[in-house]
Amino acid sequence: MTNELPTETNLPPIYCPLPPYTHPRAAEIDRTASTWMQSCAVLQDPDTRQRLLTSSCSHLLSNSSPYGKIERLGAGGKWMYLGFVYDDWFESRASLDEIVAASCALQRALEAPESALADVPFLPEFLHVMGELRRFATPTQYLRFTNERRRYFQSLPWEASYRFAGKAPDLNTYVTLRLGAASTTAFLVAMEIYNDDEIPSTEFDHPTVQAIREVAASLLGWVNDFYSLSKDARDAGATVNNFVNCIQQERRCSTKEAGAEAVTMFNRSMLLFVRLRDQLTHEASPPLRKLLGDFGRAITSALTWHAESPRYATNALSVTTVRPASLDPSPLDIPSISWWWQQLE
C-alpha cells in the first residue's frame, strides 16, 4: 500500500447523466444571503471571511430548486453560509466534550428556540435562520427538517472521535456516518419547505423514498469528499474522514486504486438513483415529483459548485453523461446501504 496523498486529478470520470440547471435569480439570492452573512460578526480571520463571502455557496441551493419561492431560497442561502461557518468551527475543536455540548445545545435550540443555551456558538445567527425556516414551513415539514438536523448533530462527535484517534472508520461505518455529518439529508429535505408544497406522509415515509433520499444525500457527500482530497491533505488529520481514505485503509491498496474504486461506487449509486427516480416519478404526487427533480439538480449543482469554489481550489473532476459500459447494476457490498437496491421493482 502506498502512502502518497490522494488528489482529485487522478480520479476516473464521474458518471452523471442528470442535466445541470442554473437559477435565473441565483445572483440575487446569493446577494441576499452573503450580505446578511457579511453583517454577522462570526468570522474574525479576514482571509477565511473573504473566502466564504466570495464562495457563492447559496448557488448550491438555488441551482437545485427551480420551484422554490425566492424569499424562502434567500433564507436557505443564509443557512448555507452559516453551515460552512459551523462546519469549520466544529472541525477546529480539539475537545470531544465541547463538540458534544455544542451539538446537543444547537439541536435543542432548533427544537425549542426559547430554551436556547447562552453559550452556544453563533447562537443569534442560528436562531435567526432557523426562525425564518420555521416561519415558512408547515409543522410537518419543520419536524422532518429537525429530524435530519438531529442526524447531523449526532454525527459530529462520532466523526470527531475518529479524527482525534487519527484513524479512518471502516467503510460500512463511514457511509452511514457521512450521511449525517455531511448535513446533506437536511439539505434535501429542506427543498420541500422552499417549494411550499408538502408531500403526503404516505409517500414521504415510504421506504423507497427514504432510500432515494439517502442515495442522493450520499452522492452529494461523496462529491464533497472527492473535492476535499487536496483540502483535507492540507489540514492535518482531516483525511481520516474521507471516502477515498476509508477505501484505501480497508482494501490496503494504493491511493490511485482507492480513488478508482470510490468513483466506481459513486457511479453504481448514481445508476441506482436514476432507476429509483424513474420508478417513483411514474406514480408520484406533484410535490414528490418536484422533490425528486430537486434531488437530481442538487447532484449536478454540487459537481458544478465544487469545481468553481475557492474553498477547494482544485481542478474540476472529469464528468461524463455516458453510462460506463462495464457499470455493474448490482448492490454495493456495503451492508449498511445495500438495502437501497432492494427498493427496485
C-alpha cell recorded at residue 283: 406514480
Q: Is residue 258 part of a domain?
A: yes
Query: Residue 258: which CATH number?
Result: 1.10.600.10
- Asked whether the beta carbons of 155 and 181 are under 8 A apart, the reply is yes
Asked whether residue 2 is domain-assigned, the answer is no
Domain of 45 in residue numbering reads as 8-343
Tally of structural domains, the chain: 1
Residue 1 belongs to some domain of the structure = no
- Rounded distance between C-alpha atoms, residue 162 and residue 180, angstroms: 15
Three-state secondary structure string covering 167-236: CCCCHHHHHHHHHHHCCHHHHHHCHHHHHCCCCCHHHHCCHHHHHHHHHHHHHHHHHHHHHHHHHHHHCC
109 belongs to a structural domain: yes
DSSP per-residue string spanning 1-59? ---PPP-GGGSPPEE--SPP---TTHHHHHHHHHHHHHHS-----HHHHHHHHTS-TTH
Instruction: Please report whether residue 120 resides in a domain.
Output: yes
Beta strands in 213-334 (DSSP E): 319-320
In this prediction the pTM is: 0.94
The tens-digit pLDDT sequence of the chain (345 residues) is 444 545 555 789 999 999 999 999 999 999 999 999 999 978 767 888 888 999 999 999 999 999 999 999 999 999 999 999 998 899 889 999 999 999 999 999 999 888 867 677 889 999 999 999 999 999 999 999 999 999 999 999 999 999 999 888 999 999 999 999 999 999 999 999 999 999 999 999 999 999 999 999 999 999 999 998 876 655 554 556 899 999 999 999 998 999 999 999 999 999 999 999 999 999 999 999 999 999 999 999 999 999 988 777 677 899 999 999 999 999 999 999 999 999 999
| Domain assignment present for 3 | no
Asked if residue 244 is part of any domain, the answer here is yes
∠ CA 183-184-186, nearest 5°, is 70
| 52 domain residue, yes or no | yes
